[in-house]
Structure formats: C-alpha cells, structure tokens
Chains A and B, each alone.
Chain A
Amino acid sequence: MTFDNWLPLSILLTSLIPGALIFMIPEERRGLRTSLNMGAAVLKLALVALMVWGVRHEHVYETRLPLAAGLQLVLAADALSVLLAALSSVLWFVTTLYAIAYLEHSPQSRSRFFGFFSLCVSSTLGIALAGNLITFLLFYEMLTLTTYPLVVHRGTPASMRAGKIYLAYTIGGGALFLLAVAWLTALTGPLDFTGGGVLRRFADPHAGELRVIFFLLIAGLGVKAALVPLHGWLPQAMVAPAPVSALLHAVAVVKAGAFGIVRVVYDVYGIQFAAELGVLRPLAVLAAVTIVYGSVRALFQDDLKKRLAYSTVSQVSYIALGAGILGPLATLGGMVHLVHQGLMKITLFFCAGNVAEGAGIHRISRMAGIGRRFPVTMAAFSLAAFGMIGVPPMAGFISKWFLAAGALAAGEGWVIGVLAASSALNAAYFLPILHTVWFKPPEGPPPAAGPTPRGRLEIGWMLLAPPAVTALLALTSGLLADAYLSPLWWTRLIVDREYLP
C-alpha cells in the first residue's frame, strides 16, 4: 500500500478519529475540544487540497478494503468526488468555527454535539469518496444516524418531534435505497462507479428491471435530496441549531441525496444509457415540480429559517434537474450548483443564526431596519439572496445560465420556463426581506436578547467571519467563474472526463 492508497482513508479518518475522541473529552475542557476540532479541520483541508492537486494531474487515489465475501469498501478520488470533498471540508472548517461560538452558552452537552458533528462530516466525506454503491450506502446510512442527535440537540419537544419525523423519512428512504442497491447487486454483481456508466451491458434482458431500480434509487436518494413529495422532513428539521441547519442544507444531508442522484445517473447508469431507458425525463419533471413547489411554499413563511428551508427544497433540485437533462452544458449547470448552492445557502443560515443569536429575531416581519444593527451579516445575506435569485455576478447565475443553455441544447425549452418561474419566486421571497432589513425604519427599541456586541463588531468574530467568508466565496465563484480552479472550472474538468472518452 502506498501513500496514494491511503490518502482517501486518511481524509476520512481525520474527522472520524477526532469525532470518537471528542466524545471522551470532559465537558469543561473547552480549549482541548476546540483545538482538536480546528486542528482536524485544518488537517483535512490540507489533505483535500493535496488530493485536488493530485486529481488535477490525473493521480489515482484508491483505498480498497475487503468487507465481506465479494464486497469491497472502495474509497476513490475522481474529479466529481473531489468536488464534494473540497466543498465539505471548506464548509466544515467555517461551520466548526461558527458552531464553537454559537454553542458557547448552550446548556446541552457540547462534547456530544461536536462528536456527532465530526462523525457527520466523516459520513459526508465517505459519501463523496465512495467508489461503489455499497460503500455509498454504508456512509449514506451512517449520515442518517449521525445527524439525528444534531437535529434533536436542543432537546425541546419541538426538536424531538422534528427528530422523529426526520428519522421516519430518512430511515424509510434508506430502506428503499438498500432494497434498490441489493436488487441491483443481485442482478449485476458489485459495480464500481465508472464515468459513462456501467449498466449498458446488462440492458438486454434486464431493461425493465433497471428502470424500476432507477426509480427505487431515486426515491431512496430523493428523501434526503428533498424531492417533492418526499421533502416533508426538511422544513421540520430547521428547529436544529443554526450551524446544524447550515451544514444540513448546504453540504451534508440534502447534498448527499443530490450527490447520490448525480452518481447514479452519471456513474452507475451513465447519462446516455439513462436517456435511452427513458428515465431522464421523469427525473427532470420531478425536479422541476420540486423547484416550483418549494419556492411557492417559501413565499408564505414568516419564520426566516422555515423560508430558507423551503428555498433549499427548491434550489437543491437544480442539481437533479441538471442530471435529468442530457448534454454537457446541463450537466455543468447542475453539478456546479452542488457547490454554488452550498456556499449561498450556508451563508443564509449563518446570517439567520446571527440575527437569532444577536437580537433574538426569528420572524421576517420583525427584521425591520436590522441592517443597521448587523451590517456585515446582512450584507452577506443580501449577496447570497441575490445569488439565489440568479442575479449576476453571483454564483447562482452561473448555474442557471448553464442549466438554461443545456436545456436549450437538449431541446427541452420548457426548462427555461421553470427557471424563470423559480427566479421570479425567489425574487418575490427574498427581495421583501432585503427591503425590510435595509430600508424600513427599526420598530421601537431593539429586542434585548443574547449577548451584547463586544467592541465595534456587531457580533463575535467567530460568528461574523463564517458568513462573510462564504458570501465572498459565493461572489467570487460567480464573478471569477472562468478563473483557474473556480468551481465552474473544476466542473468543466468533470464534464470533459464524463463526456469525451
């Protein structure tokens, strides 16, 4: 075994081992826990950066461990897995910083929280690096179980109820997915993810079964990706603490589902083969319905986090929409939205958390004039909101642009209508917030809740830096879309490798 063989596993272990260790750290050893958390995050960032460099230069990183008879745990790095791995390690870093500050005064066990937090990130990285369906399934289930304690962290009746709903949905989805994977494995034997797909040679006698399995897979993944009508858990789960919501909506759970759909379409079935089976159009229609439905629901929420949650339902389906349209441009638009949506949505949740933590405000109707109280936070929020609407030069525009171009190239003109409707609805539920925040005079004395701002900053720097950084990343990934190593640039690399060979 060489270093290249060990790298994927080491990346996984950089959060798995600290996660296990954190459980054992006594509650009051704050410094030790923080340094372990941040140290692990930095180490993981460094390793992922190394992997990004390697994959760029066509290195092969692969860890194979035998699991059981005929089954292997495969962790491998291709361009697509690096996309999610890089996103999650960057966002994990900022979210850890944010969570440390956010939970400073939390009465609940912080060791439990950060332990599961690290395990949750390990699962996400496992999902990113999984080299075959079995490995993917393993980490997919692990993600369900590690996020549950985070969702119910507050321990209030509302969060316990949300946790139950969350478990019911995700375990149900996991069961469907397990069934589908088992069926497929029985049919074909174990298969590694391969660019261009591997199932074409089984098409002859099994085309019908493969169609059914495709929809079982999508249904299983669609629970986490919050495809309508399997999205019910997501708006409930927003009772979790802000850093958890941020992670859940940007990179962990929801993204795992979307990433799974991308894997199944491109690397298990192969998009060409999926198109021949006729399963792409239904996927695209499902995604389109979700996009519009989520936005319409978001319009009627006054609770900021709930509005953001419905917005996630809508936005994540852009990824599925991109996977549902044949052609490199649509693939580009959908895949790059994996990153773009993550950056924008995590910013929005950080900001919602800051407003809740700093001023005790949860409802949009009470946010009048808080731009003056939280200038940096709300500036970050505004940038991300414009990105969600798809206004250039924010990242969201780039995704929409390529989705539109791809849809037209594939002759699916109706998608333009969906994108237009989504933009209009996004504008309708984000712009009033921005108006309220910046242009309405504050109502009465600001509600006194939470810690008062120290020094000249509106809120502690550990709560302020994460949204500022992610908002800038969301801006630069749009503004510098054609620059070297931008998300778009990297996704082009994936698409080239996917379509050309």
Chain B
Amino acid sequence: MTELLGIAPQWLTAAAVGLPLLCAAALALPGRRRVPPQLVAWAALPAVMAAWLLPEGTTAVFGWLLLSARLGLDATGRIFLFFTSALWLLAGVYGTGYLKADRRRARFFFFYGLAMSGNLGVVLAQDMVGFYAFFALMSFAAYGLVVHTGDPEALRAGRIYLTLVVVGEIALFSGLALLAAAGSLAIGDLGAGAVPSVAMLLICAGFGIKAGALPLHVWLPLAHSAAPTPASAVLSGAMIKAGLLGWLRFVPIEAAVSASWGPWFVAAGAAAAFYAVAAGCTQSHPKTVLAYSSISQMGLITIGVGISLFSPAAAAAGLPAVALYALHHGFAKGALFLAVGLLQNAAPGTRASRLAWAGLLLAALSLAGAPLTGGAVAKGALKAAVALAPQGWAAALFMLLPLASVATTVLMGRLAYLMAGRAPGCGRPGAGMWIAWLMMLAPAALLAYAAPADEALSWAAIGAAAWPLAAGGALAGLAWAAGRSSRRIVSAQVPAGDVVVAYAALIRLAARAAAAVANSLSGWVPRVRLPQRLRRQSAAMAAAAESALGSWQVSGLLFLIVVVGVFLQALCAG
C-alpha cells in the first residue's frame, strides 16, 4: 500500500518522527510570531499515516544516526502507533482552541512537538539506543508541559516529575547497558543471552516510573493534573504507555528467567489497581481523580504483562490483550480529560454542557467495562489471557478482575460527583475542540463493534460485565448518601501523590547528610599546603615569573627555550 502511494517506508518513519521535531524547531526560531503554533498538532499526520499504511515488519536502518538507529513497525508497534499518533493529533487540535488566549502557547506547543516526536519515536524505534534516546526526549520535553501554568502547584509537580525522570533515566541507562552486554542492540535479538536479574530490576523500575507502577507512581497524580488539559490527555493516554511499551520491548518475555518475574508483576499490578482507587476516591480535584484512575488501569495492564511472563502460551494471548487494553485506555482516558476541560469551559445547563456530560459518562462507563463498550472488549481479552495463567493465579484473578471493575465504577462516581459540584464555566469551546473530543470518544465507545470476536456481544458477557457496574454504582451512591449525612467521611483526604510526602522527607534528610559529608570532605582534601618557607619562596618565584612574562613580551619565547634547555641538560646528565 505504501508502494501504491509512492512513499518509501524509511521516509514515512523518518517523517513521523522528524516532522514534529521540525515544527517545534520552527517555533523556537527567532521569527516565531509568524509560525502558527497549532501547526505542531498536525505534525502527527505522518505518524497516523504510518500506522495505517506501513506493512508490518518494515524496518528502516539509519546507519548514520546514533548507533545505527532502526525505525520500523511490528504488530505491537502498530497498535501503539495507532492510538499514540491519534491522541497527539486530536489533543493538539483540542489544545489549539484550549490555549487560544494563552500568551505562552508558543512555548507550550514547542514542548508539545518535542514530546510528540519522542513518544512516536519510542513506538517506532527498533534498537535499544534509539528507544532510549526518544524516551529521554519525551520525558524531558514533557517537563515543559507539566510546569506550563507556572503556579506553585505546577512547579512542585514539575520538580517531583523531573526527579523521577532522572532516576528513571539512570536506572534505564544502567539496565540497558547490562542488557546490551548480554546481547545485541537490535530489539528483535534481545534477551538471547542470560539477563542478570539486576538488569531486569533496573529496567522494570525505570519503565515502571513512566507507567505509574507502585510505589513509583507518586509523580503521576501531581503532574498529570497540573498540566494543561490537552497535555494531561497525552500524558495519561499516550506517554504513560511508553513505559508499558518499554516493558514489552526489553523484558525478555519468552526467556525462562522472566517466568519468576510474572508473580511480581501480577502482584504489583493488582496492588496498584486497588490502591490507586482508594487514594483517588479521597481526591477533590477531578483531574487528580483521573490520574489515579490511570494508575489503577495501568495496574490492570501490568497484571496482563505478568500473565504473559508465566508461559509462552499465556504470552500469545496476553500480549495482544495488553496492547488492546492500552489502546482502549488511551482513547477513553484522553476523552475523559478532554471532557473535564470542556465542562470546565462550557456554561452549565446549555446543550453543549449536556453533550459533554453525556460523553463524560460514556467514557467513564467504557473505562469501567460497561457492556457493549470498548472497555468490555478490552476486559474480555484480559480475562481470556488470565484463563491461561497457572491454576491458582487464574482463580484469584477471576475473582479480582470484576472487583477492579467495581472499584473503577466507584472512582468514576467520585469523578461525576466532583464534576457536578464544580464552579460553573463561562467560556464557549470552539468547534475544533468538540470535533477532536468526539473523535477520541468514538473509538473508546465503539471498539466493541470493530472487534472480530462477537463474544463481547453475547448475553452472558453482557451480564458478566454489567454486575460490577451495578455494584459499583450502588457503592458510589451509598458513599454519596453517607457523605451528605456526615461530612467527616468525605473530608478524609490523602494528599495528591500520597507517599511522595514521605519520599520528600527522606530526600531532605539524605541531602542534609550529603551536605554534611561534603563539608567535612572539603576540610579533608585541602589545597596542597606547602611549608611556610617553601610557600614564601614559591610566591617569590611566581612573582618573578610574573614580572618577567609580563614585561618581556617578545622574549617570552626565548625564556621558554632556556627553561626547556635546562630540563634537557638535567636529562642528559641523568
């Protein structure tokens, strides 16, 4: 099909990554007033095209780039590229309207373009160094999105975000170096040799930071809610999945060594799925609730990764399920964030507001896995993979997964409660924002009808998917009623980022200790102190040399030759 259009694959992959970069660079040039910032949003088009048109298994080798970079598309990559490119495009279009009155929108779109290029590059990269480079570009550029508003909360979120980015980068550098020592740099050939468990741990943690894995998730509720809404959508919808893709690419799924890591992934994922809901329910900011929901959903995806590590058979079902779940969550979470932004802008009671409410509820239901929505399909695929896990695990997970749906429903109830009580908006979102939002909502809701398997549409499946929603809805209603009668329950609050408070205290303590050590060291390694007489002599020598070199000028060279001659005489005598 690409031949049909006369586009060579290497050009399409290069354009997918390069165009956002070029647009961002154009924004940074001195004459930036003349470049429309929203151009950056449309720079995602080549990537959208690549997701549709590139045949699977394409690899373009750029021998001159980095350490022979490879860009290409495989089956997993196509799904990731599909939702990643769409999210960046749609959120960018939405952002064009959202930030119309922002005087720093050129700066916003500069970082947006860089992060977009990084994220698309992560999906397309087929070699370790390229992946790492794009991952770094994405992570560091997203800092500009997080702190965009410049208020103290955003700055704090940015600081915590950046700290964890650096920690993640370093963990990844070490882990990938260890992994590279065991094999080659091309992604297809990884894990051929024995992978040391230190490398596994570093890679899991390094990507886990991005994926919001417990207990490395602390930056996420802060950063995802501090960023402007379109940036929140790509942070929670697309960039968070780069961490997941990192796991899929670099954890050697088929190798025997990984089997022992399966239980850890499953346990960590299950813990995140429920803990994040508990913490999220106490939040009072809608976007923070959504961020906690992302942690919870990524927990479910982590369970899928863990199952894939158990056995090759489980991996065969688990990996597609993981990719499908990521795709669904990307669109649903993006649509939720954008709906929150629309509702905050639209005046209540208007048709626009009702439409946004309907969309918000639809996306929320889909996220919870309501029957006939995309969420039900994604959850169904995950369940099918769980069936292939070892007996005990499968039984436990069959019990946990519906409970996770209950929890998600409760959390979405909390979101609706907060949105209902929000301050009324007064703006009028433009048509572009509505269209972008609807296009993001459509796949989240309608995925069910695109899926080849019609199991999700059977009555049994509908029933199985419906009861957790009913239970969750009832629970949320109970909590709401209880909150009305006694304020105390609702006012119990976990600070956004929960354990980050403890981490910050620890870091302050460590910094104080380090400063103390450094100060004592500076006393311990002094400047070389010569004895008094020698010091006076050398000072005199230096003074003499000074005046000589200062006044002689032309004879400076002569002086050198004399000195060198003396040295050589000494040598000859020796």
The residues of A with any CB-CB pair to B shorter than 8 Å are 16, 19-20, 23-24, 67-71, 111-112, 115-116, 119, 134, 137-138, 141-142, 145-146, 148-149, 152, 160, 163-165, 167-169, 171-172, 178, 181-183, 185-186, 228-230, 232, 293, 296-297, 299-300, 375, 379, 386, 389-393, 397-398, 400-401, 404-405, 408-409, 416, 419-420, 423-424, 427-428, 431, 435, 439, 441, 456, 478-484
Interchain nearest-CB distance for A436 vs B (Å):
12
Closest to B571 in A: A182
Given A167-B545, A375-B30, A405-B181: A119 and B557 interface contact (C-beta under 8 Å) = yes
One of B340-348, B404-412, B520-528 contacting the partner: B520-528
Given A71-B571, A182-B571: A482 and B557 interface contact (C-beta under 8 Å) = no
Interchain nearest-CB distance for B46 vs A (Å):
20
Q: Which residues of B contact A165 (CB under 8 A)?
A: 527
Q: Is the CB of A229 within 8 A of B571?
A: no
Q: Is the CB of B170 within 8 A of A420?
A: yes
Closest to A489 in B: B64
Instruction: State A164–B30 Cα separation when bound (angstroms).
Output: 45
Q: Is the CB of A182 within 8 A of B570?
A: yes
Q: Is the CB of A141 within 8 A of B574?
A: no
Select which of A230, A397, A431 is within 8 A of B166 by beta carbon: A431
Select which of B133, B539, B554, B574 is within 8 A of A164 by beta carbon: B539
Q: Which residues of B contact A111 (CB under 8 A)?
A: 553
Q: Which residues of B contact A389 (CB under 8 A)?
A: 166
Instruction: State A149–B568 Cα separation when bound (angstroms).
Output: 24
Q: Is the CB of B67 within 8 A of A482?
A: yes
Closest to A439 in B: B147
Interchain nearest-CB distance for A166 vs B (Å):
9
Select which of A416, A441, A479 is within 8 A of B178 by beta carbon: A416
8 A-B pairs with CB atoms under 8 Å apart are A138-B564, A145-B559, A171-B538, A182-B570, A398-B67, A420-B173, A439-B155, A479-B65
Interchain nearest-CB distance for A467 vs B (Å):
16
Instruction: State A229–B529 Cα separation when bound (angstroms).
Output: 12
Interchain nearest-CB distance for A191 vs B (Å):
13
Instruction: State A186–B571 Cα separation when bound (angstroms).
Output: 9
Closest to B131 in A: A392
Segment 537-572 of B: residues with Cβ below 8 Å from A: 538-539, 541-542, 545-546, 549-550, 553-554, 556-557, 559-560, 563-564, 567-572
Is B140 an interface residue when CB atoms closer than 8 A count as contact? yes
Q: Is the CB of A149 within 8 A of B515?
A: no
Given A409-B181, A482-B66: A68 and B568 interface contact (C-beta under 8 Å) = yes
Select which of B66, B166, B546, B554 is within 8 A of A24 by beta carbon: B554
Q: Which residues of A contact B64 (CB under 8 A)?
A: 480, 482-484
Interchain nearest-CB distance for A9 vs B (Å):
16
Select which of B525, B557, B568 is within 8 A of A20 by beta carbon: B557
Closest to B69 in A: A482
Instruction: State A186–B570 Cα separation when bound (angstroms).
Output: 12
Is B177 an interface residue when CB atoms closer than 8 A count as contact? yes
Instruction: State A481–B559 Cα separation when bound (angstroms).
Output: 43
> Could you give, for residues 178-204 of chain B, a 1 whenever the CB lies within 8 Å of some chain A CB and a 0 otherwise?
101100000000000000000000000
Is B129 an interface residue when CB atoms closer than 8 A count as contact? yes
Closest to B182 in A: A408
Closest to B147 in A: A439
**Taking chain A's interface residues, is the majority helix, strand, or loop, or is none over half, making it mixed?**
helix
Q: Is the CB of B177 within 8 A of A148?
A: no
Select which of A71, A375, A393, A423 is within 8 A of B568 by beta carbon: A71
Q: Is the CB of B28 within 8 A of A379?
A: yes
Interchain nearest-CB distance for B49 vs A (Å):
25
Closest to B178 in A: A408
Is B430 an interface residue when CB atoms closer than 8 A count as contact? no
Q: Is the CB of A456 within 8 A of B542?
A: no
Select which of B63, B150, B553, B568 is within 8 A of A67 by beta carbon: B568
Is B423 an interface residue when CB atoms closer than 8 A count as contact? no
Q: Is the CB of B136 within 8 A of A392?
A: yes
Q: Which residues of A contact B514 (CB under 8 A)?
A: 296
Q: Is the CB of B568 within 8 A of A168?
A: no
**Taking chain B's interface residues, is the majority helix, strand, or loop, or is none over half, making it mixed?**
helix
Of A148, A392, A435, A456, most B-chain CB atoms within 10 Å: A392
Q: Which residues of B contact A137 (CB under 8 A)?
A: 567
Q: Is the CB of B518 within 8 A of A168?
A: no
Closest 8 CB pairs of A and B: A392-B133, A404-B177, A483-B64, A408-B181, A232-B527, A427-B166, A182-B574, A164-B542
Q: Which residues of B contact A70 (CB under 8 A)?
A: 572
Q: Is the CB of B166 within 8 A of A178?
A: no
Instruction: State A392–B139 Cα separation when bound (angstroms).
Output: 12
Q: Is the CB of A480 within 8 A of B65?
A: yes
Interchain nearest-CB distance for A231 vs B (Å):
9
Given A69-B572, A427-B166, A481-B66: A141 and B567 interface contact (C-beta under 8 Å) = yes
Interchain nearest-CB distance for A439 vs B (Å):
6
Is B479 an interface residue when CB atoms closer than 8 A count as contact? no
Given A185-B571, A408-B178, A408-B181: A391 and B136 interface contact (C-beta under 8 Å) = yes
Instruction: State A115–B551 Cα separation when bound (angstroms).
Output: 13
Interchain nearest-CB distance for A501 vs B (Å):
26
Closest to A67 in B: B568
Q: Is the CB of B162 within 8 A of A392?
A: no
Interchain nearest-CB distance for B169 vs A (Å):
7
Instruction: State A4–B505 Cα separation when bound (angstroms).
Output: 66
Instruction: State A386–B33 Cα separation when bound (angstroms).
Output: 27
> Could you give, for residues 126-170 of chain B, a 1 whenever the CB lies within 8 Å of some chain A CB and a 0 otherwise?
000100110010001000000100100001001000100011011
Given A138-B567, A172-B528, A392-B136: A163 and B169 interface contact (C-beta under 8 Å) = no
Closest to A116 in B: B556
Q: Which residues of B contact A23 (CB under 8 A)?
A: 553-554, 556
Q: Is the CB of A142 within 8 A of B66?
A: no
Is B174 an interface residue when CB atoms closer than 8 A count as contact? yes
Is B530 an interface residue when CB atoms closer than 8 A count as contact? yes
Closest to A236 in B: B527
Q: Which residues of A contact B571 (CB under 8 A)?
A: 68, 71, 134, 178, 181-182, 185
Q: Is the CB of A423 within 8 A of B169?
A: yes
Q: Is the CB of B140 within 8 A of A391?
A: yes
Select which of A296, A392, A481 is within 8 A of B518 by beta carbon: A296
Given A167-B545, A185-B571, A293-B521: A481 and B67 interface contact (C-beta under 8 Å) = yes
Is B493 an interface residue when CB atoms closer than 8 A count as contact? no
Q: Is the CB of A168 within 8 A of B528?
A: yes
Q: Which residues of B contact A405 (CB under 8 A)?
A: 177, 180-181
Interchain nearest-CB distance for A91 vs B (Å):
22
Given A142-B564, A160-B546, A439-B150: A300 and B527 interface contact (C-beta under 8 Å) = no
Is B68 an interface residue when CB atoms closer than 8 A count as contact? yes
Q: Which residues of A contact B132 (CB under 8 A)?
A: 392
Segment 258-291 of B: residues with Cβ below 8 Å from A: none
Closest to A19 in B: B557
Q: Which residues of B contact A416 (CB under 8 A)?
A: 174, 177-178
Select which of A115, A141, A293, A404 is within 8 A of B553 by beta carbon: A115
Q: Which residues of B contact A181 (CB under 8 A)?
A: 571
